[in-house]
A and B are shown apart, each in its own frame.
Chain A
């Protein structure tokens, strides 16, 4: 894969009147072309920092987050209010972690958000930190994203002495690897351990650094919190369906004229979302949710882009990644490339992931090349079953889901490959975003 690191620009909205409805998070940036504190405050108004942080204020803040229906924008779509409640129940003096580590190669939304609207992210982080009585905000930006880290550094410096930084902010630079963004991996690294996921046999376990509780939120989630704190939960709910309110940032890449980061309303038909980035030709399939996501066929573009609707056709919103595969490409070959990359991104802890993912990737490589042995089909499906759900984190499960979706969406092509007659598109260059240098 190419060693070049590409910064994805935030493209202009389709038309000027599209800005207010579907341009909330980047509002200050659109109206002023600036990302500094003055432009931010001029556009969004002052941050409602409470004069006194008492239980009443904390309850009101938590209630607003709860009634907004906000879910995490980092991939898991977990209700933000439930995470907040779990940490509020713990002891004071913990950490509020802003997860902008963005290990997914196909995602650029956290980088775009932190570059164009750093103060919105920090607003949300400060308020949330106050509400859970955290003693520090820790912004995590991967060590291979220097531009993003610089944007945070500037923004943090700008807020010093303004009263907008009641909780002090640290910037930390975890290794830029796929699994680093998994919250238990991030917390392990912050606690001085490896940037590798922990085995948590019970869900809903409180994460800790030392004995201090840690709340990890994706950067975009916190930017939405900042808007909810200003305009209220009802305003947030005005966009998107009742069961998945609000907007989300999506990174659209692949065979499109205008790759970039777009803010769209939840529930917008998938085809309309992709239309913002102008697909170059007929869409054969779309990789939804990133390298550990799921392929959906080009015939399903009327599906609303929201977690529940997408799940019904086997798709994933995840962190908002959409990669457009054109008819001229070979989906099997692209799937094999992703599987190979993901095998290399294992944290190296769990046997089924360490040995299973390379085995799956090898089967897919042979399949893509059209030189399968007679046992390949059965062996591959057996291996997918053997890997699924057997890691400490969901990294192997994501790969299994992505590969299974490929076997279904590209079923005709797979049959041809199994017969030793691979797609004509096999030798075409990949449309996948380049993996960043490691």
Chain B
């Protein structure tokens, strides 16, 4: 698959709940997208990440000690090729 150009596909953040151990760095680094539940585990809403936050999301994912924050790029919505 060709690398996705930013803006053509939707970027979302997900949490791997098995890996996550509630360090909470993600909520500190990315409060726009991550909140914590009453037990300290991150809650994300699954909506597309706004372009201005994509770099911050990637940085937050890199700093997760458990590598439990995932930044995913969905394939472009239309199968149209250039």
- A201→B70 contact, CB < 8 A: yes
- A349→B17 contact, CB < 8 A: yes
- A355→B39 contact, CB < 8 A: yes
Cβ-based interface call for B4 (8 A): no
- A392→B17 contact, CB < 8 A: yes
Chain B interface mostly: loop
CA distance A75 to B15 in the complex (A): 26
Cβ-based interface call for B59 (8 A): no
B38 nearest CB across to chain A (Å): 7
Within the complex, which residue of B14, B22, B72 is in contact with A351, where a contact is CB–CB below 8 Å?
B22
- A350→B39 contact, CB < 8 A: no
B interface vs A, CB < 8 Å? 14-22, 37-41, 43, 70, 72
- B72→A349 contact, CB < 8 A: no
* CB-CB nearest in chain B for A383: B38
- B41→A351 contact, CB < 8 A: yes
- B14→A201 contact, CB < 8 A: yes
Cβ-based interface call for A356 (8 A): yes
Chain A residues near B40 (CB-CB < 8 A):
351
Within the complex, which residue of A350, A359, A383, A386 is in contact with B17, where a contact is CB–CB below 8 Å?
A350
**21 A-B residue contacts at CB 8 Å?**
A199-B16, A199-B17, A199-B19, A201-B14, A201-B70, A201-B72, A349-B17, A350-B17, A350-B18, A350-B20, A351-B17, A351-B20, A351-B40, A352-B37, A356-B39, A359-B38, A383-B38, A386-B38, A391-B17, A392-B16, A392-B18
CA distance A243 to B56 in the complex (A): 47
- A198→B37 contact, CB < 8 A: no
A interface vs B, CB < 8 Å? 196, 198-199, 201, 349-353, 355-356, 359, 383, 386, 390-392
- B18→A349 contact, CB < 8 A: yes
| Given A201-B72, A352-B37, CB of A386 within 8 Å of CB of B16 | no
Chain A residues near B19 (CB-CB < 8 A):
199
B8 nearest CB across to chain A (Å): 19
Within the complex, which residue of B14, B16, B39, B70 is in contact with A352, where a contact is CB–CB below 8 Å?
B39
CA distance A269 to B31 in the complex (A): 50
Chain B residues near A355 (CB-CB < 8 A):
39, 41
| Given A201-B70, A201-B72, A351-B41, CB of A390 within 8 Å of CB of B18 | no
CA distance A355 to B22 in the complex (A): 12
The 5 closest A-B pairs by CB, nearest first: A350-B17, A351-B41, A355-B39, A199-B18, A349-B18
CA distance A356 to B43 in the complex (A): 13
- B72→A390 contact, CB < 8 A: no
- A390→B39 contact, CB < 8 A: no
B53 nearest CB across to chain A (Å): 20
Given contacts A199-B19, A386-B37, list 4 more A-B pairs with CB under 8 A.
Answer: A201-B72, A351-B39, A352-B17, A386-B38
- B43→A386 contact, CB < 8 A: yes
* CB-CB nearest in chain A for B16: A199
Chain B residues near A198 (CB-CB < 8 A):
18
